[in-house]
Amino acid sequence: MNIKTLQKKIRDLLKEKNAILLAHNYQRPEIQDVADITGDSLGLSLEAAKTEAKIVVFCGVHFMAETASIVCPDKVILLPVISAGCPMADMITAHSLIQKKREHPGVPVVSYVNSSASVKAESDICCTSANAIQVVSSLVGHDTVLMTPDKNLARYTQRFTDKKILYWEGFCPYHDRLTAAQVKSVKNDHPQALFLAHPECRPEVIDLADEVKSTSGMLEYVKKTESREFIIGTETGIIHTLETQNPDKVFVPADKKMICTDMKKIYLDDIVKALVTSSPVVKVEEGIRVRAYRAVERMLKIPRD
């Protein structure tokens, strides 16, 4: 079947099953176009929780589907390709975090939402790439915090706090391999363009950025600014969304090879199969879910600027 036929079949199945389709900003364009909601990982789960849908089809990676299960325990969460994972999330386990906590008793653990449910359950509070600074600042009475699993997000956050930030040696392989030399080369070819970097990038790349933004932050910033040309320092899938929302603006990838292979594992026919078979299901065990939700909830209670 062609793209349009598959998209129609998906929309028909979603209606029939009382289901909702979520697509992360890094997903394939044809999946973003057919989704009910596109966005970043936590935002999608929170939006899904507000709906009456009984089934949530999450086009993303495994920790995102787990997060949906954490905040939507009454819904069936489907991840169309169960092997879609996250290399950074896999760089830490609950067991290894427990060991690290023993080395630093009393130090609060701030875990990026890009982590497994079991790691969230062992954390004091979660953060996103958009609110990490606020979360760390909210930990009054603590001079030291431990951030997991992304060292680059931790190093970026360190710029804005006097607290000592200990960090896990994890990283996103796609953001981390973007180099300052690559950025300088693209900036040289596009001297009028603003460079937008994701906090998961290396410090020397962050130093070159005109703005440092999460994926949702990039989308919001581009809409509001009068600038017409942008170099995008994150996974290339977001460029489809940026171009769709801003057809009069120009977007250049900082590195055309910043493509997350796990994010690209899902195809339209995988979504059809998931809806027809009601599988694969991602369900977080209740004991872990309650503890993980507590860490997410603490983050959500922090006042937004």
Whether pLDDT at 303 is above 90: no
> How many domains does the chain divide into?
3
Same domain, 12 and 155: no
Instruction: List the structure tokens of 44.
Output: 């999608």
Whether pLDDT at 266 is above 90: yes
**Domain-located, residue 305:** no
Q: Write the DSSP assignment of 83-127 as a string of letters.
A: T---TTGGG--HHHHHHHHHHSTTPPEEEESSS-HHHHHT-SEEE
What b-and-e string marks burial along 47-72, b requiring 16 or more CB atoms within 10 Å of the CB? ebbeeebebbbbbbbbbbbbbbbbbb
Instruction: List the structure tokens of 171.
Output: 């990283």
Same domain, 167 and 179: no
Of 16, 65, 54, 58, the closest CA to residue 37 belongs to: 58
Alpha-carbon span 148 to 303, nearest angstrom:
22
Same domain, 99 and 141: yes
**Domain-located, residue 200:** yes
Long-range pairs of 276-282 with CB within 8 A, sequence gap ≥ 24: 276/13, 278/17, 278/55, 278/76, 278/78, 279/78, 280/78, 280/79, 280/80, 280/81, 280/82, 281/76, 281/77, 281/78, 282/58, 282/62, 282/65, 282/66, 282/68, 282/69, 282/77, 282/78, 282/79, 282/82
pLDDT of residue 150: 98
Average pLDDT, the chain: 97
Of 58, 62, 57, 121, the closest CA to residue 93 belongs to: 121
Alpha-carbon span 237 to 235, nearest angstrom:
6
**Domain-located, residue 269:** yes
Same domain, 134 and 97: yes
Same domain, 145 and 293: yes
Alpha-carbon span 167 to 178, nearest angstrom:
20
Q: Provide the CATH number for the domain around residue 183.
A: 3.40.50.10800
pLDDT tens per residue, range 97-123: 999 999 999 999 999 999 999 999 999
pLDDT tens per residue, range 172-215: 999 999 999 999 999 999 999 999 999 999 999 999 999 999 99
Same domain, 279 and 295: no
The pLDDT of 245-260, averaged and rounded, is: 97
pLDDT tens per residue, range 39-80: 998 999 999 999 999 999 999 999 999 999 999 999 999 999
The H helix count followed by the E strand count for the chain is: 15, 12
**pTM, rounded to two decimals:** 0.95
pLDDT of residue 305: 58
pLDDT of residue 28: 97
Residue 92 to residues 69, 143, 153, 156, 208: CA-CA distances in angstroms? 20, 24, 15, 20, 29
pLDDT of residue 135: 98
Same domain, 277 and 292: no
Residue 203, number of CB atoms within 10 A of its CB:
13
Same domain, 25 and 95: no
Same domain, 69 and 214: no
The whole domain housing 63 covers: 3-86+263-284
pLDDT of residue 21: 98
Same domain, 122 and 69: no
**Domain-located, residue 258:** no
Same domain, 220 and 245: yes
Whether pLDDT at 124 is above 70: yes
| pLDDT interval class at 147 (50, 70, 90) | very high
Residue 235 to residues 42, 131, 208, 291, 305: CA-CA distances in angstroms? 17, 20, 18, 31, 26
**Domain-located, residue 229:** yes
Same domain, 185 and 249: yes
Amino acid making up residue 162:
D
| Residue 150 DSSP code | B
